[in-house]
A and B are shown apart, each in its own frame.
Chain A
Amino acid sequence: GAGVSQSPSNKVTEKGKDVELRCDPISGHTALYWYRQSLGQGLEFLIYFQGNSAPDKSGLPSDRFSAERTGGSVSTLTIQRTQQEDSAVYLCASSFGGVGDIQYFGAGTRLSVL
């Protein structure tokens, strides 16, 4: 596609439920990133995929968070047993994967945990 696509754009869930967020990167981009943006805060790195290499999961805040990338393209971020503090905008970005390559962001998924 023309840009990074994320779905859903908004997600409201109840505390304790699991949620899945989806990211479609730009075609040909080998690197994919997930970030979390809490209200009024900067971007918090969550996880990074590069090609077929093992992902860098160093930013995941707890074991309730996981992500996978199937076929080197689409990625899903899963949050299990959601908590109210998980409420945030989850942003996905992709790049060609070279050092310092520009990251292109999707519009994000706004997650609200009630």
Chain B
Amino acid sequence: GENVEQHPSTLSVQEGDSAVIKCTYSDSASNYFPWYKQELGKGPQLIIDIRSNVGEKKDQRIAVTLNKTAKHFSLHITETQPEDSAVYFCAATPYNFNKFYFGSGTKLNVKP
């Protein structure tokens, strides 16, 4: 089955700096890659996703890049704000299959 690895496990940045979280996957059949943000005491919420037919997607301060050849994808947050502090999870799912495989999470701390 699919194996998703995520790093770093913790990331501390100064407000206004950029943050990058990276994930790798093992199954070349994976074609959908969502990113979730989980705030304390809440369930994960989708913040951005990318499908395998594109290499990059942006939504305001967040962007995701995908390298299918290397089987890795990354989340980029620019101009970080304290409210960006949370745990971020990447996930991958193979084509025609609804089981999501999640990374182990990255705890992002944005220092004001």
Q: What residues of chain A have their CB less than 8 Å away from a CB belonging to chain B?
A: 4, 31, 33, 35, 40-43, 45, 48, 50, 56, 91, 93, 95, 97, 99-108
Contacts and interface: CB of A to CB of B under 8 A. Distances in A.
Interface of B: 6, 31-32, 34, 36, 41-46, 49, 51, 89, 91, 93, 95-105
Contacts of A93: 43
A48 B43 contact: no
Nearest to A101: B98
B100 A91 contact: no
Contact of A42 (B32, B46, B49, B102): B102
Nearest to B52: A100
B31 A43 contact: no
A43 to B, nearest CB: 4
B101 A99 contact: no
Closest 8 CB pairs of A and B: A105-B43, A100-B32, A42-B104, A43-B102, A42-B102, A105-B44, A107-B43, A106-B43
A58 to B, nearest CB: 8
Contacts of A91: 43-44
B99 A45 contact: yes
Contact of B103 (A42, A99, A103): A42
